[in-house]
Amino acid sequence: MPGVRVLYGSKDGYELQIPAINEIESIFGIKWAEKIWDGLANPPEVPGNIELGKELSEIVGNDNVFLDASTRLKHSLGMSSPEILGIRNGKFPVIVDAVVAPGYEDIIPLLAFLESRKMHGIIYGGGTSVNGSLQSQKGAATVSISTERLRKFQISDSYAVIGTGWKGMELEKKLNSSGYTMGHFPESMEGSTLGGWIATKAAGQESNYYGSIEDRLLAVRIIRSDGDLADTISPRESAGLMAKDIATGSEGKFGIITEAAVKLDSLPLKRYYRSFIVENFETGIAFLKNMKAIPAISRLSDGMETEFSMKNSRDSIGLKYVRKMVKIRKFSNPSLLITIDNKQDRITKPPGSISIGSSPAKIWERDRYDRPYLGNELWMRGIVPDTLETSARWENLVELYHSTISLFKTLQGERKFHGFIMSHISHVYPQGACIYFTFAIKSNKEPDDLIAIRDAMLSNFIRMGSPVTHHHGPGNLMRKFVDSRKLQMQSLLGDPVFSEVG
């Protein structure tokens, strides 16, 4: 049986420049040429439940029921680092009993069947969850419900009604062919679905301009085991709680989000790109805070991330210029700021910064969906990459940044793992920003180190008055950090088929 790919995406490889490779080799004490893992897993050949398969086939049709070990494993996990690390170490998750892909008309009978058998359902969109939200409970019979056949597509003037099984990249392409954009561009665009975006309360990279997923929704339809909840499609409504309100952030617990009416924008006529080096991360944050208008993308990297981008830069002439200017200007911890906008007049030069033209911003945009493939390359060399993100008010942001970085370094000293941590500001608001941490470790006790780091960082976010996540959703991995009153409130809205899972 061929192995199951558990790393991100469908492509292979990510080109790294020699100085970046040297840096990684020196931090982790590895040889880049030596891969220790191919990113594939061979699941235990536990036979599928034939009887269950027959019953499910009667509801959704033979071709839409999968009992083979590979498909079941693939649908039993997401892409969080603890899950991938488990697989890499040969520790498999609880594997679902069957995978089904219902059409719209099959959903109510399917949910009624699962409820009558007291079975659990886990809704599976693109499987790019990074918070363990696709994990099953031990001992509970569970069916993974794939949304891949929910493919409605009706485009009207300024909005479209779309089935939630559409994946980001294919959906955007289809909308673009009619001159529209949905304005939602998560880094996981290749694999994540409209339903997943709604269920996790996602934010795309251009949320400064287009808003996050909740701002793009006019109406939602959810199918539950007790029937369906559907909003009327209108520009705005105040007749109480709407289906879209309970769908957003529901993480597959309140029913299957089957379609959504989403707002469309016309494609921008032109894009404007500018890049700068600011003296340090703090100066950059102060600039973002005081910006009069916020460009669609205002991405500020800290010193470590900036240095790594420079080491991985192909443009040697531009790079020489940057290195020279930074030296002349005696910048303490140079930080890269890239801005992209659909309206030129909103991009201003940060005072005291070095203007480095449009190329870094253009390159960032060109590669925006390929960067996760660098993570794959690290996994294959025995390194464990991970990310955590939160949002903070301006007054807390710098302290949150420093305290989180220093926590990581303290743990590194105490637990003696190889590693690095870097950060950037990814989404900007008048009141504050989303801060995103990327880190990677290598040790002989990675599962323990990883959990220690994640727990310490998440506790620090909470200590600083920040949420455990700005856009990934808590899932099962961060659930213990979510306020118990909030969980209680959510359990009131739960559907019996989904609510007990996780």
Ligand X SMILES: Cc1cc2nc3c(=O)[nH]c(=O)nc-3n(C[C@H](O)[C@H](O)[C@H](O)COP(=O)(O)OP(=O)(O)OC[C@H]3O[C@@H](n4cnc5c(N)ncnc54)[C@H](O)[C@@H]3O)c2cc1C
Sites of contact with ligand X (CB under 6 A): 8, 78-79, 122-130, 133-134, 147, 164, 186-188, 191-193, 195-197, 199-200, 202-203, 205, 251-252, 256-257, 372, 471-473
For residue 12, the number of C-alpha atoms closer than 13 Å in the C-beta half-sphere is: 5
Element (H, E) at 299: strand 297-301
Give the residue with the Cβ less far from ligand X, 132 or 295: 132
Give the residue with the Cβ less far from ligand X, 188 or 412: 188
CA angle, residues 311, 313, 316, in degrees to nearest 5 = 105
- Check residue 60 and report its DSSP letter: H
Give the shortest CB-357-to-ligand X separation in angstroms: 26
Give the shortest CB-195-to-ligand X separation in angstroms: 2
Give the shortest CB-439-to-ligand X separation in angstroms: 15
Give the shortest CB-239-to-ligand X separation in angstroms: 23
Give the shortest CB-262-to-ligand X separation in angstroms: 14
Residue number, nearest CB to ligand X: 196
Give the residue with the Cβ less far from ligand X, 350 or 473: 473
Q: CA-to-CA distance for 324 and 433, rounded, in angstroms?
A: 31
Give the residue with the Cβ less far from ligand X, 248 or 460: 248
Give the shortest CB-489-to-ligand X separation in angstroms: 17
Name the token pair of 123. Answer: 């809704």
Give the residue with the Cβ less far from ligand X, 183 or 372: 372
Give the residue with the Cβ less far from ligand X, 8 or 276: 8
* Helix-then-strand count for the chain, H and E: 19, 20
Please, are residues 372 and 8 in contact by the beta-carbon 8 Å criterion? yes
Give the shortest CB-143-to-ligand X separation in angstroms: 12
Give the residue with the Cβ less far from ligand X, 230 or 398: 230
Report the DSSP beta bridge partners of residue 228: 223
Per DSSP, the three-state class of 82 is: helix
Please, are residues 348 and 298 in contact by the beta-carbon 8 Å criterion? no
Give the shortest CB-292-to-ligand X separation in angstroms: 26
**Three-state SS letters, 136-185:** CCCCCCEEEEECCCCCCEEEECCEEEEECCCEHHHHHHHHHCCCEECCCC
Output phi, psi for 227, to 5 deg. 120, -170
Q: Which residues contact 429 (CB under 8 A, 6 or more apart)?
A: 208, 294, 391
Q: Which residues contact 64 (CB under 8 A, 6 or more apart)?
A: 57, 100, 101, 102, 103, 106, 149
Please, are residues 463 and 404 in contact by the beta-carbon 8 Å criterion? no
Give the residue with the Cβ less far from ligand X, 188 or 283: 188
Report the DSSP beta bridge partners of residue 384: 441
